[in-house]
Amino acid sequence: MKHKMKIAVVGLIALAAVPALSACGALAPAGTATAEQPHTINVTGSGVAYGRPDIAVAQIGVQTRHADPAKAVAGNTEKMQAIMAALKGLGIDEKDIQTTNFSVYAQQNYDDKGQPTDLTYVVDNSVSVTVRDLAKVGDVLGKSTAAGANTVNGVSFSVNDQSALEAEARDKAMADAKARAQQLAAAAGVSLDKPLNISEYSSGPVYADSVKLQSGMGGGGGAPVPVSTGQIQVNLQVSVTYIIK
């Protein structure tokens, strides 16, 4: 009986030692160093590029009013057809004329005492016109208003392919980021190594918007409307993390 009890106690001691050995095996060998994270400098650089626009988009429309909705629509259609003919006469391709709005709604009229009387039906019809020859922008506006357009809600100018401007702005942003990082490194008494991370942020091009006409303004008799195309501005930022030595 005493012999059996002694064996059991020895067995428990052996089992208790197993977790201790496992825990010791999980520890890194003495003298092994963990990898040191690189020291870095993070900066943001900005770049701006300017270019001449080569394309314009005009929003041209007709608004008609009549007590008879059918006559309001008919009058509007007649004027819009005249505008379309004038645009095509200037060499504007049909694919560059797109209807953007057509609406008909009733407007309540009131007498001097504020009491409702009859209704006036209002018809709005608008087209977006892309002009690829900027020398024709003034003629497009003038001929359109002469043909019956009474709303011209702005003309925007842009660049058809802005990849060259983006590349220029990107180069300037990277140069700006490196100059900032070098200044910080010099102040800290260190030197720059290669970039660790680079991120790009674009706020998009800033387009010129130079013309806004309404109800018979400008373009009388089909005369060209004075237009200034201005320039396009492309803004781009980069965030660069440099390793320092």
Mean pLDDT, all residues of the chain: 84
Count other Cβ atoms within 10 Å, centred on residue 29: 5
Q: How far apart are CA 34 and CA 40, in angstroms?
A: 18
| 77 neighbors 69 (Cβ within 8 angstroms) | no
Residue 214 has pLDDT above 80, yes or no: no
Per-residue confidence band for 57, with pLDDT thresholds at 50, 70 and 90: very high
* Per-residue pLDDT, 226: 83
Per-residue confidence band for 223, with pLDDT thresholds at 50, 70 and 90: confident
Label residue 152 exposed, middle or buried (CB < 10 Å: 0-12, 13-18, 19+).
buried
Residue 35 has pLDDT above 80, yes or no: no
Residue 144 has pLDDT above 80, yes or no: yes
Handedness of CA 133, 134, 137, 138 (dihedral sign): negative
Question: Which two three-digit tokens encode residue 129?
Answer: 């016109």
The DSSP output letter for 36 is: P
Residue 152 has pLDDT above 70, yes or no: yes
* Per-residue pLDDT, 29: 56
What type of residue sits at position 15? L
Residue 168 Cα to chain centre, angstroms: 18
**Residue among 60, 142, 150, 155 at smallest CA distance from 98:** 60
- State the average pLDDT over residues 130-148: 95
Beta strand extents in the chain (DSSP E only): 40-51, 55-66, 97-110, 116-131, 151-158, 192-206, 208-214, 232-244
Residue 218 has pLDDT above 70, yes or no: no
* Per-residue pLDDT, 183: 97
| 3-state SS record for 185-243 | HHHHCCCEEEEEEEEEEEEEEECEEEEEEECCCCCHHHCCCCCCCCCEEEEEEEEEEEE
- State the average pLDDT over residues 170-192: 97
- The pTM for the full model equals 0.67
Between 23 and 187, residue with greater pLDDT: 187
Q: What domains appear along the chain, each with residue ranges and CATH number?
A: 37-54+159-211+227-245 (3.30.110.170), 55-158 (3.30.70.2970)
